[in-house]
Structure 1
C-alpha cells in the first residue's frame, strides 16, 4: 500500500498486483507500448486470478453447472446468504474484466462450449441467444461481443426494449414504464461492446445515445423530478459490480465510450467527477465501500473500508481522461 500521495507510488502499488490489473495500468495509466501490455495481458490465462477462475470451469465449458445460478441451486441460499455469483454468466463477465485474450485458444473453446452446452435457467434458450431480462442480456452482449460471438439478435431485442425516457428496466415485462440506472448501465456496456466489435448500426448507436442521455440528465445519480440522489449507494464504490450501478462504473463507461467515438467529456459528468475526487484517500488510493454478499469463487479486493486496486485503477483512468481534455471539453 502506498505511503504517499505521489501518483507514481500509487501506480507502483497497482503494478505490484495481479496480471489482470497490471496490464490495464500499463495501457491506461503509463502509456506502455502495446507489445508490452499485451505481453502482460497474456498472463491472465496462466497466472493469478484469471488462471484461478479458469481452473473452476466445468468440462462442458460452464461454471458451477449453470448459466445464471449454480446447479442444484436452493432459493433459500439467495434469501439467507445472498445471490450466488459462481455460475457461467458472472464468471464470463469477470474474465472479460480481467482481460482474458479473446483470441486465445482457451477463450475460443470456452465460448464454443458454452454455446453448445449452456441453457438459460429461465426458459432453456441457448446461452448466446440471450435470456429475457435486460440486465442479463446487456451483460451477455458485452461478453459475447468481447469474445467474438455474434450477439446481434440480442442487440436487436434490446434496441426494441427501450423505455420512453431513453433507458432500460428489467421490470419492463412486469409493467414498469420507467428506466432503471442498474438496467441502463448493463445495456449501455453491452451496446458499447457491440459497437466496438462491429461498428454497430444507426439503430444501436441511437439507442446508446438515448441511454447515455438518461444518465446525463440525472448527473449520473439524481432523480430527475426532485434532484435528490436516486439511491445513496450510487455514490459508494462497489466491486465487483455484477449487475449493480454506481457512479464510478458509469464514469468508466463514459470514458470507454469516448475511446470508441472520440467524443469530448460531457460537462454534465462534472458533479460525479467532483464526488470521485472527494473520495480519494490521503495516500492517493480509493476505498472499496461495500461488496455484495453471496457465494463467489474468491475475493479480488481486501475488504470494504480498505484501499482497492480495482476501484483505484478505474478512478485514476477516469480522472486521467477527464483532466486530459479539461472540464470544458477542450484539450489542455
Structure 2
C-alpha cells in the first residue's frame, strides 16, 4: 500500500485497532493484510492493555455493569464508571479483537459462567432489563459468537409505537429516545451480520431506522428543532451516548450489509459532518463521557482525534461513492 495523504499516514501511525480499520475501510487493502493487522489487537497496544486488566473469572473490575464496591457518590461526583465488563467488552469489539481467537473464546465462556447483572442477578448472556444495555449485549454477544436470540426477540417486542426504543419505557415513557434506539439498532445489525437475522429482527431494525431517519438523525419530529445540540458534537468513546456520527457510521454499516443505497434524509447530517472538518483534514474530539476508565485512547477534548477522523472519513467515502446521491 502506497499512501501520500498526510491524514491517512497520521491514522496509520497509531494503534493496531485503528490501523486495521484504515486498511480495510479507507485503503481497500487485501483481506489477508488487514486481518493480519487486526490479529495484533490481541497482543499489542490498547487491545492487549485492556485484556491485561481482566479479572481471572473473565470479568473486568469485578462487575457486569458496575465495578465491584462501586459507591454511587462516584457517579455523582466523577461520572459513570466505564471499567466493568459490559463497557470493556464493547471496547474490545470496537478495537476489533478477533472473535475466533482463543483469548476471545475464553473470555465469553468465563463471563457466561461468572458474570451476573447487578440489577437482578441474571446470567450475563441472558441480558438485563434496560434496552440500551441489552442492545450492547446483543452486539457484543453476536460479535463474539454467543446465541443472543432470546434478547433479540425481547427487544423486538419492546418497541414503542413510534418504532424505536427507550430505556425509560419501564417507567412509563411512550416516546423513543435517540440513544436507546441507536444502541438497539447496533445490536440488531451485529446479530443480522452474524446470523442473518430473522424476519422479526429485520422488521424491528427497519422501524428503528425510520425513527431516526424521519428526524434527520437529530431533529424533533414535531418542531424540526434539534432534539439536543449535543447530538451534533462528536464523542469518543460514545459508550451509550448518541451523536450523528455514530448514527451515520451505523447507516453506513447497515447499507454495506444489505446492499441498500443511502437514504437522502442522511444528507443534512452529512453536510454537518463535512462542515466540521479541520484545515488539516482531520476532525476534532468534542468530548468523552466523564467517569472512571482503564486508560485514555484519544488525545483529549478539542484536539484532532484519530477515532473521530477514521469514522468520519469512512462515512464520507461511502456517501461520496453513491452516484444517485451525488448526481
Fold shared by both chains (TM-score > 0.5): yes
Answering whether residue 56 of structure 2 is matched by residue 59 of structure 1, we say: yes
Following TM superposition, by how much is the alpha carbon of 1:291 offset from its aligned partner in structure 2, in angstroms? 1.1
Structure 1 counterpart of 2:167, from 166, 170, 176: 170
Pick aligned residue for 2:228 from 202, 212, 231? 231
For 1:12-161, what aligned pairs fall within 5 Å after superposition? 12-161=9-158
Question: Does 2:251 match 1:248?
Answer: no
**Which residue of 186, 189, 194 corresponds with 2:186?**
189
Summarize deviations over 1:60-105 as a string: whole Å, max 9, x none.
0000000000000000000011000000000000000000000000
**Matched-pair contact (CA < 8 Å) for 1:7–1:284:** no
Gaps of 5+ in 1: 1-5
* CA RMSD of superposed structures (Å): 1.0
Q: Which runs of 5+ in 2 are unaligned?
A: none
Runs of 4 or more above 6 Å deviation: none
User: Partners in 2 of 1:7 and 1:259 — Cα distance?
Assistant: 27
Distance 1:246 1:237 in 2: 6
Deviations along 1:167-201, whole A, 9 cap, x unmatched?
A: 00000000000000000000000000000000001
SS of residue in 2 equivalent to 1:244: coil
Residues 303-329 of structure 1, C-alpha deviations (whole Å, 9 max, x = no match):
000000000000000000000013x34
SS at match of 1:64: coil
TM-score by length of structure 2 reads 0.98
Are residues 1:265 and 2:283 paired?
A: no
Q: Which position in structure 2 is the counterpart of 1:3?
A: none
- Mapped to 2, the partners of 1:15 and 1:202 lie a distance apart of 40
The residue that corresponds to 1:280 in the other structure is: 277
Mapped partners of 2:50, 2:276: distance in 1? 31
Q: Would you say how many aligned residue pairs link Structure 1 and Structure 2?
A: 325
Q: 2:7 aligns with which of 6, 10, 15?
A: 10
Give the 3 Å change call, closer, same or farther, for CA 7–324 of structure 1 in structure 2. Answer: farther
Between the aligned partners of 1:225 and 1:303, the Cα distance in structure 2 is: 36
SS where residue 321 of structure 2 aligns?
helix
2 CA distance for matches of 1:10 and 1:329? 25
Aligned partners of 1:82 and 1:204: how far apart in 2? Answer: 33
